[in-house]
Chains A and B, each alone.
Chain A
């Protein structure tokens, strides 16, 4: 049993090395990662462990898409790794390691699990690029009532309230003044009846020509 597994592994790695030395097959997809652009200071170093994670997530994606078919890390063959962190990969089929899974199937699998693949590497659609698989665009948020109508309604309400207040207030004040002079006239009549004396009210100008200042003329 163990011997068989070892034999298959050796065979698959041999196949893998074979694949990489040949020309890029049509079923291959280019992948490009821009880790430093996405993460800046918190960027991790790309090494073999990260590559293993990539193979594992892609195998996961294939398993999710084609339920029942148990893809493994060995089925994901990666070639031509560059310092840019870009490479191409193919997926070998389960039954026959020499056959490659079609582009369409791989694309479907990647699209379905794109979010999971991105988050495994803390990247986005723009920083983890599968050349040839365009990211599905998120629709812009569109609320039911446009927010501007709400603000417009508030402003117009305030404006019309203001117009009403400014037009109606003077009319009310005029009515109040009409009522008040009626009361003032009554009080005036009363005071007029009461005060007929000349007493302390000095509303006139004091006429100096008849003052007593010159009673005692200076000699």
Chain B
């Protein structure tokens, strides 16, 4: 398709190929550079591989047909993820600017895309670092034995355990009461929890010290933060495989259910997971690749990083489910043990008369002879599948299920420290990309004086995000975070991603883009890239966006609440949001998405009405005007 929208003046706004060659040899030192290729790759891998690989992908895999989920995931990875990744890398490397700069160079009317990326990066960074604060809180609490989430505290008159803890479990109590001190509704603020504020401050200051000078400092930090998670995952895999019941978990994860492929939600979830997993449309990847040398092979990088991201998802799913299998087996054994004990005590059988193997027969026999007594015992049904599917997504996985598994392992504090250090590194390297996606556009937008050093921009970003992030340190903070997660990080990203692809292919021009890539890496992108960039990827993103939008609008929005008074306690209860939440949802999802058309209109009107005063067209077209005078005169 040779469709191209008119785009006058493009050549004046972007450096030409000759300019790029000159800049490459001259080493104009204004722009930061990567020390080596490894730093660049580790930073991109760290940005892409995040908490979602550990606690979102395993859940999706298991709930959408296990091994069969790999098929939609891999197909959409190849058709949607890799093309968009290659596009972002290539355009950043070619135009050598951050996200706002890139879109402004292509056409000033498109600055809105960069601004939308900035807003989304800011909002997502705000709540993502709160999760980091929670991880750090748990990390700080892991340096003691016994672990604080393994015991219930005693009640006031020391006759028994605290009621909330006795009715739920020690890990639930530690998470909902001692960590979050959660209120019962999103409108009940509950006040600021001082320990959470401290954890939040520590998370933001630690992030600041790592990103203080941009890639100079993060480039050193990623050597640790991007590699340590793999080491810890391997340690956990070895430990997990030696535990009883781990193979149950892995089998549960990978057992294929081919019927799930007929379900459209499976494909939708796979597409959304590929999109969010690659951290596309945040602007950070464009920024990172703009620091590359001009002839860096961005095609190879895109494919390599996609493969690493996919493999990491599968690897971490295996590790997570081996530990989940262990926990489920422990819970199942405890459940059976309880039932057997009740039976033995009621009928005074000798110990070891009833075992797991003959339990069912004995129960049937006793039910026959003494049904009344059996009824009075309140025996629980022990279902292995139920234990395997409990709370295995999101924060529930990390802070409830996994912590419970850890306290059942010997030398628990060691495993707790390792696990939370791994989560911390995964989250920190993603935050590097977020900060890059906020600070660089801020500098490009020239809202603040240019002479201010990068340290000040970074400090301002971290300070403002920390102050605004205090809403997550309230009693109702958990509910606010779930709200941000559902709306700030979903629809706007899809909109931005679609607009990015459309702008590069149809406004910048696919032909020009192909020539640029040929100049940069030496050969023209082959038919696969052409087809996916022009047709397939935009269509896939549009479909996902429309379906997402429709499902969000049609279903009544509820949120899960931890309430002792609720009937279903200790499971979370679904409650509808109050009405004023719709305003917040609009601010989160609507404002970044609407920034694109609004800025487009603003710049368009500005161009049209100010054209009469624009004398730039009437410059004399001479040779001397085209000669670039460098700052250093060489004699």
- 29 A-B residue pairs with Cβ-Cβ distance under 8 Å, sorted by A, are A32-B345, A36-B351, A36-B352, A37-B341, A37-B351, A83-B348, A83-B350, A84-B345, A84-B349, A84-B350, A85-B350, A85-B351, A134-B159, A137-B154, A137-B158, A137-B159, A140-B152, A148-B137, A148-B195, A151-B139, A155-B202, A156-B202, A159-B206, A159-B209, A160-B205, A162-B209, A163-B208, A163-B209, A166-B209
Query: In the complex the two chains form, is A147's CB within 8 Å of B141's CB?
Result: yes
Pairs A-B, 9 closest by C-beta atoms: A148-B140, A83-B350, A82-B348, A36-B351, A84-B348, A151-B140, A147-B144, A162-B209, A140-B151
Which of B199, B206, B348 has the most A CB atoms < 10 Å from its CB?
A: B348
- Could you give, for residues 140-159 of chain A, a 1 whenever the CB lies within 8 Å of some chain B CB and a 0 otherwise? 11010001111110011001
Judged by a CB distance under 8 angstroms, whether B394 is at the interface is no
Query: In the complex the two chains form, is B206's CB within 8 Å of A155's CB?
Result: yes
Query: In the complex the two chains form, is B348's CB within 8 Å of A152's CB?
Result: no
Query: In the complex the two chains form, is A84's CB within 8 Å of B344's CB?
Result: yes
Instruction: Give A180 Cβ to nearest chain B Cβ, in Å.
Output: 19
Instruction: Give B170 Cβ to nearest chain A Cβ, in Å.
Output: 10
- Could you give, for residues 155-190 of chain A, a 1 whenever the CB lies within 8 Å of some chain B CB and a 0 otherwise? 110011011001100000000000000000000000
Question: Which chain B residues border A36 with CB–CB below 8 Å?
Answer: 351-352
Query: In the complex the two chains form, is B209's CB within 8 Å of A137's CB?
Result: no
Judged by a CB distance under 8 angstroms, whether B485 is at the interface is no
| A-binding residues in B (CB < 8 A) | 136-137, 139-141, 143-144, 146, 151-154, 158-161, 195, 198-199, 202, 205-206, 208-209, 212-213, 217, 341, 344-345, 348-353, 455
Judged by a CB distance under 8 angstroms, whether A124 is at the interface is no
Q: Among B137, B206, B351, which residue has its beta carbon within 8 angstroms of that of A84?
A: B351
Judged by a CB distance under 8 angstroms, whether A16 is at the interface is no
Question: Which chain A residues border B153 with CB–CB below 8 Å?
Answer: 140
Judged by a CB distance under 8 angstroms, whether A86 is at the interface is yes
- Could you give, for residues 107-151 of chain A, a 1 whenever the CB lies within 8 Å of some chain B CB and a 0 otherwise? 000000000000000000000000000100101110100011111
Which of A34, A82, A134, A147 has the most B CB atoms < 10 Å from its CB?
A: A147
With A and B bound together, what is the CA distance between A35 and B351 in angstroms?
8
Instruction: Give A3 Cβ to nearest chain B Cβ, in Å.
Output: 41
Q: Among A84, A141, A149, A156, which residue has its beta carbon within 8 angstroms of that of B205?
A: A156
Question: Which chain B residues border A166 with CB–CB below 8 Å?
Answer: 209, 212-213, 217
Query: In the complex the two chains form, is B205's CB within 8 Å of A163's CB?
Result: yes
With CB as the reference atom, state the residue of chain A lying closest to B340: A37
Question: Which chain B residues border A83 with CB–CB below 8 Å?
Answer: 348-350, 353
Q: A32-B345, A34-B351, A166-B217 are in contact. Are A151 and B143 (CB under 8 A)?
A: yes
Q: Among B140, B161, B206, B345, which residue has its beta carbon within 8 angstroms of that of A137?
A: B161
Instruction: Give B146 Cβ to nearest chain A Cβ, in Å.
Output: 7
- 13 new A-B contacts at CB < 8 Å, known A140-B152, A159-B202, A163-B205: A34-B341, A36-B352, A82-B348, A83-B348, A83-B353, A84-B344, A84-B348, A141-B146, A148-B141, A149-B140, A156-B202, A156-B205, A166-B217
Query: How would you classify the secondary structure of chain A's contact residues: helix, strand, loop or mixed?
Result: helix
| B-binding residues in A (CB < 8 A) | 32, 34-37, 82-86, 134, 137, 139-141, 143, 147-152, 155-156, 159-160, 162-163, 166-167
Which of A83, A148, A151 has the most B CB atoms < 10 Å from its CB?
A: A148
Query: In the complex the two chains form, is B212's CB within 8 Å of A139's CB?
Result: no
Question: Which chain B residues border A137 with CB–CB below 8 Å?
Answer: 154, 158-161
With A and B bound together, what is the CA distance between A112 and B560 in angstroms?
47
With A and B bound together, what is the CA distance between A151 and B202 in angstroms?
11
Q: A140-B153, A147-B144 are in contact. Are A167 and B455 (CB under 8 A)?
A: yes
With CB as the reference atom, state the residue of chain B lying closest to A37: B351
With CB as the reference atom, state the residue of chain A lying closest to B195: A148
Q: A82-B348, A84-B344, A156-B205 are in contact. Are A139 and B141 (CB under 8 A)?
A: no
With CB as the reference atom, state the residue of chain A lying closest to B213: A166
Instruction: Give A114 Cβ to nearest chain B Cβ, in Å.
Output: 16
With A and B bound together, what is the CA distance between A21 and B172 in angstroms?
50
Question: Which chain A residues border B146 with CB–CB below 8 Å?
Answer: 141
With A and B bound together, what is the CA distance between A147 and B141 in angstroms?
7
Question: Which chain A residues border B351 with CB–CB below 8 Å?
Answer: 34-37, 84-85
With A and B bound together, what is the CA distance between A141 and B151 in angstroms?
10
With CB as the reference atom, state the residue of chain B lying closest to A151: B140
With A and B bound together, what is the CA distance between A160 and B205 in angstroms?
8
With A and B bound together, what is the CA distance between A174 and B213 in angstroms?
16
Instruction: Give B32 Cβ to nearest chain A Cβ, in Å.
Output: 14
With CB as the reference atom, state the residue of chain B lying closest to A162: B209
With A and B bound together, what is the CA distance between A143 and B151 in angstroms?
14
Query: In the complex the two chains form, is B154's CB within 8 Å of A140's CB?
Result: yes
With A and B bound together, what is the CA distance between A134 and B344 in angstroms?
20
Instruction: Give A142 Cβ to nearest chain B Cβ, in Å.
Output: 9
Q: Among A34, A35, A86, A150, which residue has its beta carbon within 8 angstroms of that of B348?
A: A86
Instruction: Give B272 Cβ to nearest chain A Cβ, in Å.
Output: 35
With CB as the reference atom, state the residue of chain A lying closest to B138: A148
Instruction: Give A164 Cβ to nearest chain B Cβ, in Å.
Output: 10
With CB as the reference atom, state the residue of chain A lying closest to B155: A137
Query: In the complex the two chains form, is A152's CB within 8 Å of B206's CB?
Result: no
With CB as the reference atom, state the residue of chain B lying closest to A161: B209
Question: Which chain B residues border A148 with CB–CB below 8 Å?
Answer: 137, 140-141, 143, 195
Instruction: Give B84 Cβ to nearest chain A Cβ, in Å.
Output: 35
Question: Which chain A residues border B205 with CB–CB below 8 Å?
Answer: 156, 159-160, 163
With CB as the reference atom, state the residue of chain B lying closest to A142: B153
Question: Which chain B residues border A159 with CB–CB below 8 Å?
Answer: 202, 205-206, 209
Question: Which chain A residues border B206 with CB–CB below 8 Å?
Answer: 155, 159
Instruction: Give A151 Cβ to nearest chain B Cβ, in Å.
Output: 4
With A and B bound together, what is the CA distance between A85 and B209 in angstroms?
65
With A and B bound together, what is the CA distance between A34 and B212 in angstroms?
62
Which of B152, B199, B345, B351 has the most A CB atoms < 10 Å from its CB?
A: B351
Question: Which chain A residues border B141 with CB–CB below 8 Å?
Answer: 147-148
Question: Which chain B residues border A149 with CB–CB below 8 Å?
Answer: 140
Question: Which chain A residues border B352 with CB–CB below 8 Å?
Answer: 36
With A and B bound together, what is the CA distance between A83 and B349 in angstroms?
6
With A and B bound together, what is the CA distance between A141 and B434 in angstroms?
41
With A and B bound together, what is the CA distance between A147 and B143 in angstroms?
7
With A and B bound together, what is the CA distance between A166 and B454 in angstroms?
13
With CB as the reference atom, state the residue of chain B lying closest to A32: B345
With A and B bound together, what is the CA distance between A138 and B212 in angstroms?
49
With A and B bound together, what is the CA distance between A149 and B209 in angstroms?
20
Question: Which chain B residues border A167 with CB–CB below 8 Å?
Answer: 212, 455
Question: Which chain B residues border A85 with CB–CB below 8 Å?
Answer: 350-351
With CB as the reference atom, state the residue of chain B lying closest to A170: B213
Which of B143, B209, B350 has the most A CB atoms < 10 Å from its CB?
A: B209
Instruction: Give A82 Cβ to nearest chain B Cβ, in Å.
Output: 4
With A and B bound together, what is the CA distance between A41 and B349 in angstroms?
19
Query: In the complex the two chains form, is A152's CB within 8 Å of B202's CB?
Result: yes
With A and B bound together, what is the CA distance between A158 and B183 in angstroms?
34
Question: Which chain B residues border A140 with CB–CB below 8 Å?
Answer: 151-154
With A and B bound together, what is the CA distance between A167 and B153 in angstroms?
45
Instruction: Give A188 Cβ to nearest chain B Cβ, in Å.
Output: 17
Question: Which chain A residues border B348 with CB–CB below 8 Å?
Answer: 82-84, 86
Question: Which chain A residues border B199 with CB–CB below 8 Å?
Answer: 152
With CB as the reference atom, state the residue of chain B lying closest to A136: B158
With CB as the reference atom, state the residue of chain B lying closest to A148: B140
With A and B bound together, what is the CA distance between A167 and B205 in angstroms?
14
Instruction: Give A42 Cβ to nearest chain B Cβ, in Å.
Output: 14
With A and B bound together, what is the CA distance between A168 and B154 in angstroms?
50
With A and B bound together, what is the CA distance between A163 and B458 in angstroms?
12
With CB as the reference atom, state the residue of chain B lying closest to A140: B151
